Amino acid sequence: MRIAILSSGGDCAGMNPAIKQFVDYCLAQNIEPYFIYDGLEGLIDGTIRRAGYPDVARIMHLGGTIIRSSRSPRFYEYTHRKQAYENLQQHGIDRVVILGGDGSFRALEEFYQEFGVRFVGIPATIDNDIFGTEYCLGVDTSLNIIRHATDAIRDNASSIKRASVIETMGRKCGYLALVSAIVSGAEVCVIPEAECDFESLALKLRSELKQGRTYIICVVAEGTKMTQKTVEWLEQEIGMETRATVLGYVQRGGNPTVFDRLMAAKFVEYAVDHLADETKEGGSAVLYQGSRCKLVPIEVVNSGSYQLDEKLLDMAKDMMR
């Protein structure tokens, strides 16, 4: 039996631990592991080769993905998907593990429907926005990077009597900003999923400044496009010198945390076991619900849209009004 693994879409910490566990576990189960380099683009171009222990030595602590990733507009075209299928056939591969997000899962679902290539998706995106799962690979490392940066910025802000605006990643989902604001004790949180009452916040913050507050921390999700406006609001309405820090791609890298490494191993073993079972068909995804992993048909994941936990939103309500 031969199973291939690829990364797709944005990279994240935890992918390399998943890749190592994939090779180690496959070899222990007498399964031949293969790498598909450069994501779906590599699947089209045929950059596929067998993997072994030397390929995954000394990668557990590395962020990113040694097999690289990509976003592939070409995969939307049938002729390129057919070429991808023929490339797999040349290597005798009919099962694939994919590390990625919902866009990657949708691409592989269509690929299965057309050519019958079974796959299991492992949720890997720092946005944590895949329907049905409470956790995606890479999220914990990203949150810890944001936490470390926010703590350092607070040290500066409190020393200079300054306001600081910290922009996190999150185009459509404010998960990173929301959780980071809660765990860092921020005063303001701006996310796409909830409206901020800046007038009410201004009254509260001006009152706190009169009572001795010496700094303000605001966490803003990039998808709101409110970073500069928040800076201007703090300077004009609150009257504090303000600096903005855009964390950017530092949130995607870094040494994977213990939790991301452990979950990478669990996700991979579930995926490989499922693909090795000849009685199973179709495409699936490994999800994390109620502190447990479970496999669900890919149609379930692709049928819904992720919503932020209402309890988290409630915990941050005082940062929004």
- Do the beta carbons of residue 279 and residue 35 sit within 8 Å? no
Q: pTM score, two decimals? A: 0.96
314 carries an active-site annotation: no
Domain boundaries, the chain: 2-138+256-302, 143-252
3-state secondary structure 186-228: CCEEECCCCCCCHHHHHHHHHHHHHCCCCCEEEEEEHHHCCHH
| CA separation for the pair 233, 230 (Å, rounded) | 5
Architecture of the domain defined by 2-138+256-302: 3-Layer(aba) Sandwich (3.40)
- The catalytic residue among 11, 38, 94, 127 is 127
pLDDT of residue 224: 97
DSSP state of 124: B
- Calculate the CA 90 to chain-centre distance: 32
Does the fold of domain 143-252 match that of domain 2-138+256-302? yes
DSSP state of 259: H
Contacts of 24 (CB under 8 A, 6+ apart): 53, 56
Coil vs helix vs strand at 318: helix
User: Does 171 score more than 90 pLDDT?
Assistant: no
pLDDT of residue 7: 98
Q: What is the residue-averaged pLDDT of the chain?
A: 97
User: Does 146 score more than 90 pLDDT?
Assistant: yes
- Do the beta carbons of residue 98 and residue 108 sit within 8 Å? yes
| CA separation for the pair 11, 190 (Å, rounded) | 25
User: Does 90 score more than 90 pLDDT?
Assistant: yes
Contacts of 301 (CB under 8 A, 6+ apart): 102, 105, 121, 130, 131, 132, 133, 285, 287
pLDDT of residue 33: 98
pLDDT of residue 112: 97
Neighbouring CB atoms inside 10 A of 54's CB total 8
Nearest Cα neighbor of 217 from 183, 179, 187, 247 is: 187
Burial 75-108 (b: 16+ CB within 10 A, else e): beeeebbeebbebbeebebbbbbbbbbbbbbebb
Fold of 143-252: Rossmann fold (3.40.50)
- Do the beta carbons of residue 176 and residue 127 sit within 8 Å? yes
pLDDT, one tens digit per residue, over 192-249 is 999 999 999 999 999 999 999 999 999 999 999 999 999 999 999 999 999 999 999 9
Quick one: what percent of the chain has pLDDT higher than 70?
100
- Paired sense of beta strands 32-36 and 2-7, if any: parallel
